[in-house]
Amino acid sequence: MSPELLDPGQFGSEDGQPTKESDCYALGMTILEVLSGRPPFYYYRYLTVMQKVIEGERPRRIEGPEGGWFTDDLWGMLELCWSHQSENRPSIEAVLECLEQGLTTWQPLPPSLDNAIQTDGNEGSHPTVTKSCMFPHFILNIIPTIT
């Protein structure tokens, strides 16, 4: 959830109702989870995440093979989606345009990494699932239905 939904009073909102801007924040987190195979802030406990989000912390950039999807342009767009002030977030159409541009240079992962499941070795850790087909499916079938 976006910081203004977690603590509406701090952000000048009386009702704390979802908006297009809070939806943009959620979309950025969804893109991160779909492409990385891990939930945002998987390295924190749930209650800690809420406080970190309110304080302005955002997910760490994914490194290694799992981070292959996260070009500088895409990561920059995600960071805009997660802007602390909702009025600084892009429109859903701008996010779609960025994703579509990324698709023009998209290449599938090598078979050795496709559908690989990895964990970080810690008990209860979330698996990282890398699927080379997720990105184009996400763009072509899911995003256009919400604009």
Q: Is the pTM of this model over 0.85?
A: no
CA torsion 76-114-117-146 (nearest 10°) is 50
Please return the burial class of 92, using the count of CB atoms within 10 Å of its CB with bins 0-12, 13-18 and 19+.
Answer: middle
Q: At residue 34, what is the residue type?
A: V
CATH of 3-146, one of 3.20.20.70, 3.40.50.300, 3.30.70.2660, 1.10.510.10: 1.10.510.10
Residues 70-124 have pLDDT tens digits of: 888 889 999 999 999 999 999 999 998 888 887 666 555 555 544 443 444 444 4
The DSSP secondary-structure symbol of 2 reads: -
